[in-house]
């Protein structure tokens, strides 16, 4: 039963939100040399709960719409399979998704009390978009946009909870984090193209068509790395942040493989795995760069 629930919340994909929280904390520590550990722990718990909520509700609605029953599931696409396989009941998954949404909302409400209107705006966006993600947002071609904004708000919200003001660093870092997450969503939607399209979904891959979408994949790493390079050049990010360029070869290889194999499902799993690795490693390196620069300055 536990393994089924871990599958349902897509435990390995929660890492994207965990990295985003750590990025917000790393930037705050780099700037102000202090962290409120209680707030940090609550932030992590709230973000993980909200992320789990959107995944659970997505599984529920995809099952209800017969989308997941018409896809060939892989480790990275086609849903978790817990409902088509009968491992959990739809009502259980829906209820768990709502409970996680309530838990995340309550933690967010505490921070609204502590930090005010900015957190209220972020929380309001999260609640509305999470609940309607699988029934409205992905049907309008805005899934990648939602994920990018969500990632950016996690970084910005984490930072603001610690230090109630906004600077360019968490904003730009948040955009990088969000684009990295939307990269994974974009690539992982290729295998679900037929099932999504036949049931009314309108992912970015469907909007563009698979050939054009595959040819456009390079835009995601170009945006992420472009923001980092420009931010370093403008002395917004530390120069150490250029270590993220170490993942560019992986991004280039992954984009090349995507263009060659976008219509070959049996060969596509390694492509998705490489994009997930690229996204997570780049995000982790950005976190490390702020921490490393702090210690470099300490010993100088």
Condensed to tens digits (0 to 9), the pLDDT of residues 16-47 reads: 999 999 999 999 999 999 899 999 999 999 99
User: In Å, what is the CA distance from 174 to each residue of 27, 193, 211, 227, 266?
Assistant: 10, 28, 29, 11, 34
Domain boundaries defined on the chain: 2-299
| Chain centroid to CA 196 | 20
Q: How confident is the model at residue 13 (pLDDT cuts 50, 70, 90)?
A: confident
Lowest pLDDT segment from 158-172, 182-196, 214-228: 182-196
- Tell me the pTM: 0.92
What fold does the segment set 2-299 form as a domain? Farnesyl Diphosphate Synthase (1.10.600)
- Taking alpha carbons only, the member of 297, 171, 156, 166 closest to residue 240 is 297
Is residue 216 packed enough to be buried (19+ CB in 10 Å), middle (13-18) or exposed (0-12)?
middle
Give 232-275 pLDDT, tens digit per residue. Answer: 999 999 999 999 999 999 999 999 999 998 888 778 889 999 99
pLDDT tens digits for 62-115?
Answer: 888 777 666 677 777 666 777 877 778 989 999 999 999 999 999 999 999 999
Give the tens place of pLDDT for each residue, 112-151. Answer: 999 999 899 988 888 888 777 767 777 777 788 888 988 9
Dist CA 187 CA 204 (whole Å): 10
**CA–CA dist 263, 265 (Å, integer):** 6
CA trace torsion 266, 63, 180, 21 (10° rounding):
-140
The per-residue DSSP string of 158-192 comes to: HHHHHSSS--HHHHHHHHHHHHHHHHHHHHHTSTT
Angle of the 90-115 helix axis to the 117-132 helix axis, nearest 10: 170
The C-alpha R_g of the chain, in whole angstroms, comes to 19
Task: Calculate helix-pair angle for 143-162, 37-64, nearest 10 degrees.
Answer: 160
Q: Which residues of 256-291 are buried (b: 16+ CB within 10 A; e: fewer)?
A: ebbbebbeebeebeebbebbbebbbbbbbbbbbbbb
Longest dimension (CA), the chain: 60
Q: In the prediction, which pLDDT does 300 show?
A: 67
The answer on pLDDT for 280 being more than 90 is: yes
CB-count exposure of residue 32 (10 Å: 0-12, 13-18, 19+): exposed
Which of 262 and 175 is assigned the larger pLDDT? 175
């Amino acid at each position: 039963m536990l393994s089924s629930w871990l599958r349902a919340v897509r435990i390995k994909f929660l890492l994207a939100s965990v990295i985003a929280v750590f990025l917000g904390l790393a930037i705050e520590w780099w700037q102000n040399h202090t962290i409120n550990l209680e707030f940090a722990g609550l932030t992590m718990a709230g973000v993980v709960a909200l992320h789990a909520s959107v995944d659970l509700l997505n599984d529920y609605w995809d099952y209800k719409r017969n989308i997941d029953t018409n896809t060939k599931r892989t480790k990275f696409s086609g849903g978790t399979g817990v409902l088509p396989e009968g491992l959990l009941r739809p009502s259980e998954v829906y209820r768990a998704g709502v409970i996680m949404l309530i838990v995340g909302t309550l933690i967010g409400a505490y921070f609204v009390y502590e930090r005010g209107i900015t957190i209220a705006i972020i929380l309001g966006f999260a609640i509305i978009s999470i609940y309607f993600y699988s029934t409205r947002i992905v049907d309008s071609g805005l899934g990648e946009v939602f994920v990018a904004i969500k990632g950016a708000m996690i970084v910005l919200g984490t930072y603001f909870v610690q230090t109630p003001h906004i600077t360019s660093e968490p904003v730009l870092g948040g955009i990088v984090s969000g684009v990295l997450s939307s990269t994974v969503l974009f690539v992982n939607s290729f295998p679900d193209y037929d099932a999504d399209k036949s049931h009314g979904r309108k992912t970015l891959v469907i909007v563009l068509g698979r050939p054009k979408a595959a040819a456009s994949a390079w835009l995601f790493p170009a945006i992420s790395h472009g923001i980092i390079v420009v931010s370093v050049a403008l002395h917004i990010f530390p120069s150490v942040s250029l270590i993220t360029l170490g993942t560019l070869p992986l991004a280039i290889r992954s984009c090349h493989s995507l263009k060659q194999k976008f219509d070959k499902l049996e060969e596509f799993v390694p492509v998705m795995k490489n994009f997930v690795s690229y996204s997570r490693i780049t995000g982790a390196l950005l976190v490390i760069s702020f921490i490393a620069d702090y210690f470099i300055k300490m010993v100088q």
